[in-house]
Amino acid sequence: MKIYKYCPPKRNHLTNLVKSELWFRSPNNFDDNLDSNLPHKQIPTIQIVNQFETDLNNYSIEVIKHLTPPKGLILPMQNPDDRSFENLFKNFKQNCIGITCFTGKPSNKKMWNEFAENETGFCLGFETENDNAFFRELEEVKYYKELPKPDYSNPILEKELEINFLSKLSKYKFEEELRLIKLQSGGIRFNKESLQEIILGRNISNYTEKRIMNILKGNYKHEIIVRKNI
Q: Tell me the average pLDDT across 10-38.
A: 94
Domain containing residue 65: 2-228
Are 203 and 230 within 8 A, CB to CB? no
* Residue 92 predicted with pLDDT over 70: yes
Look at residues 139, 141, 140, 138 and name the one whose alpha carbon lies nearest to residue 194.
138
Cβ-count burial 72-91 (b if 16+ within 10 Å, e if not): bbbbeeeeeeebebeebbeb
* Residue 175 predicted with pLDDT over 90: yes
Counting the structural domains of the chain, the total is 1
DSSP 59: S
Range of weakest confidence among 5-9, 15-19, 85-89, 118-122 = 85-89
* Residue 14 predicted with pLDDT over 90: yes
* Residue 43 predicted with pLDDT over 70: no
How many CA atoms, within 13 angstroms, populate the side-chain half-sphere of residue 175? 20
**pTM for this prediction:** 0.84
Instruction: Using pLDDT thresholds of 50, 70 and 90, give the confidence band for residue 61.
Output: low
Mean pLDDT of the chain: 87
Bridge partners of 99, per DSSP, are 25, 181
DSSP SS3 for 188:
strand
Which long-range contacts does 66-72 make (Cβ < 8 Å, 24+ apart)?
66/183, 68/158, 69/157, 69/158, 69/161, 70/152, 70/157, 72/96
Range of weakest confidence among 52-66, 154-168, 216-230 = 52-66
* Residue 44 predicted with pLDDT over 80: no
